[in-house]
Amino acid sequence: MLEFLALPAFQDNYIWLILDPQRQEAAVVDPGDAVPVITWLGRHPEYQLRHVLVTHHHRDHTGGLATLKAATDCLVWGPAAESISGVDRQLKDGDQLNILGKTLQVYAVPGHTLGHIAFYCDEPAEPWLLSGDTLFAGGCGRLFEGTAEQMHASLERLAALPEATSVYCAHEYTQANLRFARAVEPENNDIKVRLEVVDDLRAAGRITLPSSIGLERRTNPFLRSTEPAVIATASRQQNAPLSAGVETFAAIRGWKDGF
């Protein structure tokens, strides 16, 4: 069974280190900084870094690639639709790759950036998703390059994954995201309880991840744009009636930008 370890970087990034204890091999996801990765590998010389997975081109996700490639024998996988120096294998929607004995499916999930991809492992017992900056715990990425229509479609695709899917996103934004979720759905008890748990975790300096698709469906307003309560709140914010789906999603995404 693989193990997931979050290496903190910068102010709120997580570099996910995926470990195969049997093979004593490792993969890392979105290494914006090589130092946490190299430090960990130096303390665990029995592990070899074999793979680097990149979801999109932003520097806080790619800044460590050159150093890691120089220091290890890793193979770098990244999106074909984005220009990222150091990528060895370019990936597009529908591609598959094998790492650490697992088969990963590549999903194109534009919105945050135009070429953003996610990695999904359809393990029967424990499926998992590397969502980058598309789907966050309680939220979603800003629309830096894509449209609301693109991001909404990307999130709908991820929300259709099995409820048990573990979600490994790239930032510790959960607390702020859930505070916004409470504003969108103040009567949603699932959000209330989840925020209380997250507040306790953060007060203790602990990570709030991974999440799950099932939990996101119940508490993430950006996956709930067809819910009457979300539509009603978004309509009040816009001072106009909004339709379910993309229109409501766009309204709450814009609201969150200034929340």
User: Which residues have a catalytic role annotated?
Assistant: 56, 58, 60-61, 112, 133, 171
Distance CA 131, CA 196 (A): 24
- Strands, E assignment, 54-112: 75-79, 89-91, 96-99, 102-108
Chain position carrying tokens 């697992």: 102
Indicate the angle between helix axes 174-184 and 228-238, nearest 10 degrees. Answer: 80
Task: Provide the edge-to-edge strand list for the sheet that holds 96-99.
Answer: 96-99, 102-108, 117-121, 128-132, 166-169, 211-212
Q: Within 13 A of 28's CA, how many CA atoms are on the CB side?
A: 31
Q: Are 212 and 163 in contact (CB under 8 A)?
A: yes
Q: Is 229 helix (H, G, I), strand (E, B) or coil?
A: helix
> Within a 10 A sphere around the Cβ of 88, how many other Cβ atoms?
12
- Torsions phi, psi of 94, nearest 5? 90, -10
Element spanning 48, H or E: strand 48-53
Residue 20: in which H helix or E strand, if any? strand 13-20
